[in-house]
Structure 1
Amino acid sequence: MGEMTARLLVIGGGPGGYAAAIRAGQLGVDTVLVERDRLGGTCLNIGCIPSKALIHVAEAFGRAAEQAEASPFGLRLGRPSLDLARAMEWKEGIVGRLQGGVAALLKRSGVRTVHGQAELLDGKTCRVETDTGPQTIRAEHLLLATGSEPADLPGLPFGGRVLSSTGALALTEVPEHLAVVGAGYIGLELGMAYARLGARVVVVEAAERILPAWDAELTRPVLRRMERLGMEVLTGAEARGLAEEGAALRVATAEGRERRIAADAILLAVGRRPRTRGFGLERLDLTMNGPFLRVDERCATSMRNVWAVGDVTGEPMLAHRAIAQGEVVAGIVAGERRAFDPVAIPAICFTSPEVVAVGLSPTEARQAGHEVRLGQFPFSANGKALAEDAEEGFVRIVARADNHLVLGIQAVGQGVSELAAGFALALEMGARLEDVAATVHAHPTRGEAVQEAARMALGHALHL
């Protein structure tokens, strides 16, 4: 049995874990990272990156199919075809390049990487079963970055035709009939992608509307697009299991009737749960917050020198949150005074159109006791959006009525994910409506809608 020692031991090579390890290495902290599978975690390998690659393929195919029929500017193309297996190979090539980049960054930062299943022995020691035998690692600090995994339903365990997002991202043929259980961002992103590729998609959601965690006004353009794609949406409905005969899903509708939905494949996207089992976590005396590890503003757990970041610590389960937390922990271990205290964390739904929310919605701002000023500018009055035949959607800004401090910015429309950084920066820097309105925005860009929304909130929009 081999033995290693380090100042920092990181369990999990996803965004939170590898970011912490890289930054710790840069700061001169002797660091070991343990990963049981592939570096990059869920996001890089089977989540954020491959799903966006598939969405890009679907958008390119969908545009070509639409232009084969007609386009507003006279373009005519032949009917497109798609080799999905080849598209999946292209997607895996992107994943491989990024994974190799993570490995190179870890090596350049002096981080030692151990591949294998970790088993915690206590708060400072773990044993790893590697290909070359067991390895014991002892460290002064332990960082848990074990991420999350897809949740299933009692009547719909994963397997066969019942797919998690991982399985949906590995299909080599477009299913003729696809049932999507769960109308959150994962279900809708992938469901809309396969609808554009030609699948007949039915979405089953237990709540009363799609994207129930998002502002209803932001989600209406998404629902309209789903209808134009021929997708059927069943809200207030419950998936009960597979039909005994035939490729179908049994669903209890909002009216109380049972319906069978044709389904060559079923994407189960009802959420994710923290990965807290299978690596000896029960040997540590850690305070929990429901199913999650409880951490404070420093990402410290209830045990001294045991830290946790990312999905295992709770919502929002987002890679950029995990990366930011990991960087904080690395700084603390290196002796810096750090805390994880962002004003807002951007949330993006890569549907068609995209949806972005940063900070408080109007309802949330009022619930927090604020009197608010609102400004909302439609892309139908934005030159860049019109020039690209993508006028659906808007930008909305929420500010305090008394001092005009910006509390939140939201948008729905084509390409609005790229505006998220500017939204977050405005909130983080404490911008007021006057700051946003007076900032010169380049023309013609979609970003001008942000400036116009601020002007509208101040009562003097120029272009509407």
Structure 2
Amino acid sequence: MQEVKTGVAVIGGGPGGYTAAFRAADLGLHVCLIEQGNRLGGTCLNVGCIPSKTLLHAADVIEEASEAAKFGVTFSSPEIDLSVLRSHKADVVSQLTKGLDTLCKARNIDRRTGTATFTGSHTLAVRGQEESTQVHFDQAIIATGSQAFKLPGIPEDPRIWDSTTALALTTIPKRLLIIGGGIIGLEMAQIYHALGTEITIVEMQKQLIPPADRDLVQPLFLKLKKRYSIHTDTRVGAITPQNDGVEVSLEGKNTSTQRYDAVLVAVGRRPHTADLGLAALPLEPNDKGFIPVNQQQQTRLPHIYAIGDVVGDPMLAHKATHQGKIAAEVIAGHQVGFTPKIIPSVAYTAPEIAWAGLTEKEAQEQGISLDKGKFPWGASGRALSSGANLGVSKALFDTESGVLLGAGICGANAGELIHEAALAIELGATARQISSTIHAHPTLAETFAFAAEMVDGSITDVLPPKPRRK
């Protein structure tokens, strides 16, 4: 077994891992980056965020072409070449992964391919296909991410998919059941519906995208219920593969048994910590499999750090990258910590849904009094002129201090628009400060300022809200 020594061993080459490795190298540290796959980028780049957004863009083009008939512009039905679409997706991923390879080499990072297992408090065994390596490290960063959660009792069958299988786009089923009405499930539904599949969605909670406020999801739901068969507050019972499909029983308000050509299980993800050999440190995850850390991303062993999905929700790439930078900077001696007020979330559906900070239901649970401004996109000139009137912008201000605590947007490009709200929350902006910031007209961005105007009382684009009783 080959033996190497390094200052910082980073386990996992996803967004959090490669960011940590690159930042540590930029700060003058010797870094060994260990990734079990042949390409950097992890789930997000290779089989998650990037391929799904590439396919979602194709779905958006198909939908926009169809809806253009409302403006008097008519296109013929699209001809879809799956092989070309798959190749385009692969090219996008390849371009980005090659870019990461270049950045990694330019930083003189010692890159190892294989599965890493702790064998001691300062040693790792890296087992690759051709050779094994013993890595001696001073500090280590665990960035192994997560994997799709598997429902117990579901049989193994090629027609029962996880998100990775769905994104492979090997076949277009006539009827697809999606178990889970969260972000992943809805994004996959949009892709396959655009390609001609009949979609059924089952969600055990009372609404789609359960973490978001109901009124934020409602515009999307009103659109989707005309296109999909949606069953909320419903559980999946038996799943039985048959010769002519997969038989699934649904248990809820409308109990039934149906057959589908494919079933996608999209009920969430779980941290990937089981095979790391944490007992050798010793280090033990909590009952949910997450590794507890402090604001410096340190575990109970100060020289062992953890970032990203393995440390807890939300399991988002942009959270992991920021934590990766924090861990690298702490190791380099900087006095920093991971202390964000908010972490924005985005569902890349059509319309998109994005939110940041406190939601209304969280405020209610915590007993926080809010002043709410909610501006309908049906009153936005830019939204109406671009056919994007299905949407709403919402701003939530603390009644006592007046500062922005949370915001949500449902509408076209909501994922791009939410960041003004995110910055405003971080800076403690008030409704007056937001509304007095001049926004270009006509834009979708100004709808957030209108939501703030509804709270400070200066709104003129809709009727002013009724005065609050003192």
What's the offset of the Cα at 1:409?
A: 0.9
**What is residue 455 of structure 1 aligned with on the other side?**
453
Alignment deviations for residues 4-55 of structure 1 (CA, whole Å, 9 cap, x no partner): 1111000000011111001101111111100010210010111111111111
Q: Of the candidates 280, 291, 296, which is equivalent to residue 294 of structure 2?
A: 296
Alignment deviations for residues 100-148 of structure 1 (CA, whole Å, 9 cap, x no partner): 1112222222322111121221221112123441111111001100000
* Cα distance between partner residues in 1 of 2:152 and 2:318: 31
**What is residue 467 of structure 2 aligned with on the other side?**
none
Alignment deviations for residues 179-210 of structure 1 (CA, whole Å, 9 cap, x no partner): 10111111111112211221001111222222
* Cα distance between partner residues in 1 of 2:360 and 2:448: 16
Identity among equivalent pairs (%): 36
Runs of 4+ off more than 6 Å: none
* Cα distance between partner residues in 1 of 2:105 and 2:61: 37
* Cα distance between partner residues in 2 of 1:158 and 1:21: 37
* Cα distance between partner residues in 1 of 2:130 and 2:265: 37
Alignment deviations for residues 38-97 of structure 1 (CA, whole Å, 9 cap, x no partner): 210010111111111111111112222344xxx222101111111122111101110111
| Structure 1, unaligned runs of 5 or more | none
Q: Secondary structure at the match of 1:64?
A: helix
Q: Secondary structure at the match of 1:198?
A: coil
* Cα distance between partner residues in 2 of 1:122 and 1:409: 46
Is residue 8 from structure 1 mapped to residue 8 from structure 2 by the alignment?
yes
Is residue 326 from structure 1 mapped to residue 321 from structure 2 by the alignment?
no
Q: C-alpha root-mean-square deviation of aligned residues, in Å?
A: 1.5
* Cα distance between partner residues in 2 of 1:87 and 1:108: 32
Q: Of the candidates 372, 376, 385, which is equivalent to residue 387 of structure 1?
A: 385
* Cα distance between partner residues in 2 of 1:158 and 1:292: 27
Q: Secondary structure at the match of 2:325?
A: helix
Q: Of the candidates 276, 287, 300, which is equivalent to residue 279 of structure 1?
A: 276
**What is residue 336 of structure 2 aligned with on the other side?**
338
Q: Spell out the pairing of 1:426-445 with structure 2 (5 A cutoff).
A: 426-445=424-443
Conserved? CA contact 1:455–1:461, under 8 Å: yes
What's the offset of the Cα at 1:430?
A: 1.4
Conserved? CA contact 2:358–2:407, under 8 Å: yes
Conserved? CA contact 1:40–1:99, under 8 Å: yes
* Cα distance between partner residues in 1 of 2:177 and 2:387: 30
What's the offset of the Cα at 1:385?
A: 1.1
* Cα distance between partner residues in 2 of 1:279 and 1:370: 41
**What is residue 465 of structure 2 aligned with on the other side?**
none
Q: Spell out the pairing of 1:67-146 with structure 2 (5 A cutoff).
A: 67=68, 71-146=69-144
Conserved? CA contact 1:179–1:261, under 8 Å: no
TM-score computed with the length of structure 2 as normaliser: 0.94
What's the offset of the Cα at 1:263?
A: 1.4
Conserved? CA contact 1:287–1:302, under 8 Å: no
Q: One-letter code of the match for 2:113?
A: H
* Cα distance between partner residues in 2 of 1:158 and 1:83: 29
Comparing 332-341 with 296-305, which one deviates more in the overlay? 296-305
| Structure 2, unaligned runs of 5 or more | 463-470
Q: 1:202 to 1:430 in 2, by over 3 A?
A: same
TM-score computed with the length of structure 1 as normaliser: 0.96
Q: Spell out the pairing of 1:227-306 with structure 2 (5 A cutoff).
A: 227-228=225-226, 230-239=227-236, 240-244=238-242, 246-255=244-253, 257=255, 259-290=256-287, 291-306=289-304
Q: Secondary structure at the match of 2:402?
A: coil
Q: Spell out the pairing of 1:200-219 with structure 2 (5 A cutoff).
A: 200-219=198-217
Q: Of the candidates 303, 306, 309, which is equivalent to residue 308 of structure 1?
A: 306
* Cα distance between partner residues in 1 of 2:67 and 2:396: 36
**What is residue 43 of structure 1 aligned with on the other side?**
44
